[in-house]
Amino acid sequence: MTATLYERIGGEATVMAAVNLFYAKIMKDELTRPFFENLDMNAQVKKQIAFMSRVLGGPIEYRGKNLRQAHAQLVAERGLNDGHFDAVVQHLAATLEELGVEQDLIGEAISSVRAMRDEVLGR
């Protein structure tokens, strides 16, 4: 059986480290920070770990809102757009690189995330 991307990047340990490092980058970025500064970050980290697990083919089940619902208010009221989405993708790629994930695996992960652009942005 072929290993999932989740397994190939290092499984739970890598995803947990990635999510924490990722949010540190998000919160330092003036473009992305406003979307997160009033959230319960502990709850957000837990949701993101489950979400990333699902996206990468891991075993943790994501039970949050679908992407369109979860981001609709941010799009409508706060102007979430392609520039914000691209910044988030760049932070994720930088995070995986910093953790030593191989470039081909980073490419696979980023492709999976980019495929969700229209859903996140309500298109």
State the alpha helices, DSSP H only, in the chain: 5-9, 11-28, 41-55, 67-78, 82-98, 103-114, 117-120
DSSP-assigned letter for residue 4: P
- DSSP symbol at 34: G
Q: Which amino acid is at 103?
A: Q
Mean pLDDT over all residues of the chain?
A: 92
pLDDT one-digit tens code per residue, 43-98: 999 988 988 898 898 987 777 788 899 899 999 999 999 999 999 999 999 999 99
Provide the domain limits for residue 50. 5-120
d(CA 67, CA 51): 10
CATH number of the domain at 87, please.
1.10.490.10
Q: How many domains does the chain have?
A: 1
